[in-house]
Amino acid sequence: MSSPAALSPADSGPVETRGRCPLLLLAGSAVAWLALASVLALISGIQLHDPAFLGGCPILTHGRVQALAETAFVYGWIANAGLALVLWILARLGGEPLRAANWVAAGATFWNLGILLALVGIASGEATAIPLLELPRDVQPLLLAAYGAVALGGVLAWTGRRRDVMYASHWYAVAALFLFPWLLSIAQVTLLWFPVRGTLQAVVAGWYAQGLWTLWMAPLALAVAYYVVPKSTGRSIASYDFASLGFWCLLFVGAWTGGRHLIGGPVPAWISTIAIVAAATLLFHYAIIWLNLRGSGGLGGVPLQFIRFGLLAYVLGGLLDALTAIRGVAEVTQFTHFDEAQQELAFYGAVSMLLLGGLYYALPRLTGRPWAYGGLVRAHFVLTAGAVAVRVVALGAAGLVQGTALNDAAVTFPEIAARTHTWLLLASAAQAVLLLGNLLLLVNFFKSALCPYYAAAVAAVRQTQGIAAEAPVR
Amino acid sequence: MKNGALLFLGLFAALGVSWAGIIIGSSDQFGALAPYYDAATDQTYPNGMAGVAARGQLVYRDLDCASCHTQQVRRLGFGSDQARGWGTRQSVARDYIYQPFPQLGQSRFGPDLTNFSAHSPIAVAPGGIYQLLYAGRGAMPAFAFLFETRRIVGEPSIHALHLGAGLEPPAGYELVPTPRAEALAAYLLSLSSPYDDYPEAMPPPAPKGEEAKK
Amino acid sequence: MNPPAGQDPTYQPAAVTDAELLAAHEKLLEKQPDDRAHYKLMPLGLLFFFSGLILFAATYLNRYSGHFDPSIYNENALPTKGGGEVKIDPIVLGKRLFNQSGACVTCHQPTGLGVVGTYPPLAGSEWVNGPEERVISILLYGLQGTVHVTGKSFNAAVMPSFGASGFGWSDDKIADVLTYVRQEWGNKGGPITADQVAAIRAKVGSRAAWSESDLLQIK
């Protein structure tokens, strides 16, 4: 099955012997969720400029479709891909085969089962209407337990590492593994099981949403970036001695941005002021990331292209975050499509592109053979990069138009809808292109990872039954 | 950084400090807000939600209406919320203490609903809310699945709706709202902030410099 | 090691092993021998940048956080010193009292015009705009019997007492509602203070409802 001749000598490692199955399970689920999330996001996007689209079906009413798309994207695609890559990186850096592989496989299965249950729940009306925590309440404990099982493999790989040194990917990966369960359990308890009173719920929800971004998604993506870049280019990280400063800055400052979306809201002013200050201070972290990872190689292969795009989007997103946190700017961009554009830039442009780069890098090592279709890999990059850029610009423009119109009391809502119509059409078209790219990835993944297994399984069965593989069929 | 234990403690501290600062700090300040007693009218504000309105909030939540509507009025000078007639003052935390799940919202593709029953012409017009939900309007989709078109058996139902030309059911059928639609309408009609004089909602006093100039 | 030219999109080869990666970065973190005897610009630049950010943060927090006060929702405001009673416009209070269900508006109507033949109007009423003591007395003790307002005669209803023998309103409430009524609907009477109400209450003590002729004695 594995053909070590195709892999370079720098790649040989015992890691993949035990870790292959569960990690491929995670990666495959991720790719499938990405495709589904793209479909749902397309429906949701079309409904923004054409409200009657599929609106008759209660499952596909706009609010629910948006919750479905967000859940599938964050807890389906990003979680699975992030965990797969981070576990793989920790195991490789540890130098040992993946421990607790059975736990990881079981955890992955139950995580994806839980997400499926969550989506069914949202479609039938159990969504919590909390941004980034739309998962129905009763599914969340299952997800926590499953996450714990998966994270166990990563934690054991970290504690049992051969060389007692830690690299930047270690810090970010361990941070992501540990912080997510704490974030999710606190949010769950204070919002859903024993809800706190009044707008305190909004504060907790904001703390969770920003924590999810800065303490979980960004570390997952950065762990991948810090690993793939030096491995591919052969050059050490520039100014590596500052990398730990960037790490601690993200961790300590990141969670304080919780009040980011409560500017002018029904909470005391200090909450949003601290968030604005934190968003500005976080610029230090982005500066260090830029310093460390900007030299991601000249032409580079496709994984490096993904990673370079992702890093650019990450730093740009950080700048935009600090800019739109300023109250004068927030007055225009708050509650508009601009927030959506920022989220697209962060979740898709930054984290997803970094994870995709990692996926394109890691899969050949997991399966032992290269990707099946090189053309599809290139096409995926071109389509995704172009579509994300177009989408961010279109949604941003729509948001600015909407924001300035909202601030003028004379402009009615039908008028606002008319003004933003073209930009939203453009954004939907770009979303359709994204969907196409992700379908290409799905096809490529299926051919690369699953077909060899199928062929090998067939060969094994034939062998046990004493049928020679080359025997012609009469 | 070599020390694994130090990393772990650092992670814990990072999360713990932000949790303590933001959540515990906020909880201390307004986690146990009580209603405000107004001596002039001998009443406390805000008032609790009626049961059917609380159920309606669950319908609002399940359809995720907050994905297009906000329920927070911003202060004067920050956007045009008050100029649009959405409220007469900035919303404060005390407005939401009797709502089981405040739906503050994060996007405004439709108007703000904080004072919907007090300020919106739709709320005042008879059957206005049902017409809005059944037919949609502008960028708001139709929620026809919240209604039921059923054959008239015997007498027409007293709950049957007559929403105007173009929306009438076929002959022999009647259009009735489902219990969810009724709860949602009750919730929307309960949305208002009747009291303007909470101490924290008072406009800030003019700076001393301006008074000295006068 | 340079990556090979002509990248194969199906496979990105690794240029170093994991062990080499870890070792190289470990070495970077060790103390470097000072091979060049001048400052490295980088840490200085980062230090300035970070200091600048902290300066911004501190200034912004000081200016816009309302000193972390829980009752400051407007970031431009500062907590009021002394925490005294917030003064609400008595006309606003008075209007609220007037419009309370079961109070004035029920009979005298929101337009202040009353009901023809039953409840006298307040708009343009000589009783409302007349001597302060007179109108305060009406509220404190009530009025019964025939009364002539704006040339018309009213006999059908009794004006209840809002003082101790009736609704039990405080001096502040009576003063506020009278202040409101005396400037609304074109009325030009001046404001009434709670002290004036208290003075009359103390002077008269308790009594039955006024009649028109007794009231006209008050100047």
The full set of domain ranges for chain C reads 39-79, 90-217
CA of A251, closest CA in chain B: separation in Å? 6
For position C1, what pLDDT does the model report?
39
Enumerate the residues of chain C whose CB falls inside 8 A of the CB of residue A374. Answer: 8-10
Please give the single-letter amino acid code of residue A306: F
Q: Which residue of A has its CA nearest to C59?
A: A277
CA of C163, closest CA in chain B: separation in Å? 15
Q: Which residues of C170-184 are buried (b: 16+ CB within 10 A; e: fewer)?
A: ebbbbbbbbbbbbeb
- Least CB-CB distance to B15: which of A47, A215, A336? A215
Among candidate residues A292, A426, A448, the one with its CA nearest the CA of residue A380: A448
Gap between the Cα atoms of C168 and A209, Å rounded: 53
CA of A175, closest CA in chain B: separation in Å? 6
Q: Where are the domains of chain B?
A: 36-199
| Planar angle of CA C37, C41, C42, nearest 5 degrees | 125
Mean pLDDT of chain B, nearest integer: 88
Enumerate the residues of chain C whose CB falls inside 8 A of the CB of residue B29. Answer: 70
Kindly determine whether residue B11 and residue A174, on different chains, have CB atoms separated by under 8 Å.
yes
Task: Provide mean pLDDT across the span A298-326.
Answer: 91
Question: At A464, is the pLDDT very low, low, confident or very high (cuts 50, 70, 90)?
Answer: confident
Task: Provide mean pLDDT across the span C18-47.
Answer: 75
Among candidate residues C105, C178, C172, C84, the one with its CA nearest the CA of residue C136: C178
A263 vs A163, A268, B9, C19, CA distance in Å?
Answer: 47, 10, 32, 48
Instruction: Express as a percent the part of chain A with pLDDT over 70.
Output: 94
Q: Which tens digit of pLDDT belongs to each residue from A123-181?
A: 998 999 999 999 999 999 999 999 999 999 899 989 888 888 889 999 999 999 999 99
Say whether residue C202 is in contact with chain B using an 8 A CB cutoff. no
Kindly determine whether residue C12 and residue A236, on different chains, have CB atoms separated by under 8 Å.
no
Q: Which residue of C has its CA nearest to A168?
A: C25
Q: Which residue of B has its CA nearest to C102?
A: B41
Say whether residue A267 is in contact with chain B using an 8 A CB cutoff. yes
CA of C88, closest CA in chain A: separation in Å? 22
Q: Which residue of C has its CA nearest to A93?
A: C18
Say whether residue C76 is in contact with chain B using an 8 A CB cutoff. yes
For position A15, what pLDDT does the model report?
65
A231 phi/psi in degrees, rounded to 5: -65, -35
Say whether residue B22 is in contact with chain C using an 8 A CB cutoff. no
Residue C203, burial from CB neighbour count under 10 angstroms (0-12, 13-18, 19+): exposed
| Planar angle of CA A384, A52, A74, nearest 5 degrees | 35
Residue A232, token pair as written in the block: 């591919």
CATH second-level architecture of C90-217? Orthogonal Bundle (1.10)
CA of A289, closest CA in chain B: separation in Å? 17
Kindly determine whether residue A339 and residue B107, on different chains, have CB atoms separated by under 8 Å.
yes
Say whether residue B27 is in contact with chain C using an 8 A CB cutoff. no
Kindly determine whether residue A57 and residue B17, on different chains, have CB atoms separated by under 8 Å.
no
Q: Tell me: pLDDT of A310 over 70.
A: yes
For position C80, what pLDDT does the model report?
72
Gap between the Cα atoms of C180 and C190, Å rounded: 10
Kindly determine whether residue A129 and residue B74, on different chains, have CB atoms separated by under 8 Å.
no
Question: At A319, is the pLDDT very low, low, confident or very high (cuts 50, 70, 90)?
Answer: very high
Residue C6, token pair as written in the block: 């002509």
Q: Tell me: pLDDT of C85 over 90.
A: no
Q: Which CATH superfamily is domain B36-199 in?
A: Cytochrome c-like domain (1.10.760.10)
For position C3, what pLDDT does the model report?
43
Task: Provide mean pLDDT across the span A389-411.
Answer: 95
Q: Which residue of A has its CA nearest to B83?
A: A409
Q: Which residue of B has its CA nearest to A182?
A: B15
Determine how β-strand B173-177 pairs with β-strand B147-151: antiparallel
Say whether residue A267 is in contact with chain C using an 8 A CB cutoff. yes
For position A95, what pLDDT does the model report?
84
Q: Which tens digit of pLDDT belongs to each residue from B43-73?
A: 888 988 889 999 999 999 999 999 999 999 9
- Contact partners for chain A, using 3 or more CB pairs closer than 8 A, are B, C
Size of interface A-C (CB pairs under 8 A): 158
Size of interface A-B (CB pairs under 8 A): 211
Mean pLDDT of chain A, nearest integer: 90
- Least CB-CB distance to A63: which of B67, B97, B101? B67
Instruction: Express as a percent the part of chain A with pLDDT over 90.
Output: 74
Mean pLDDT is highest, among A20-29, A427-436, B99-108, C93-102, for A427-436
A12 and A4 in contact (C-beta within 8 Å)?
yes
Among candidate residues B213, B196, B168, B202, the one with its CA nearest the CA of residue B38: B196
For position B209, what pLDDT does the model report?
46
CA of A163, closest CA in chain C: separation in Å? 8
More confident residue, C6 or A2: C6
Residue A195, token pair as written in the block: 């809800």
Gap between the Cα atoms of C96 and C1, Å rounded: 82
B36 phi/psi in degrees, rounded to 5: -100, 130
Q: Tell me: pLDDT of A4 over 50.
A: no
Task: Provide mean pLDDT across the span A99-116.
Answer: 94
CA of A461, closest CA in chain B: separation in Å? 47
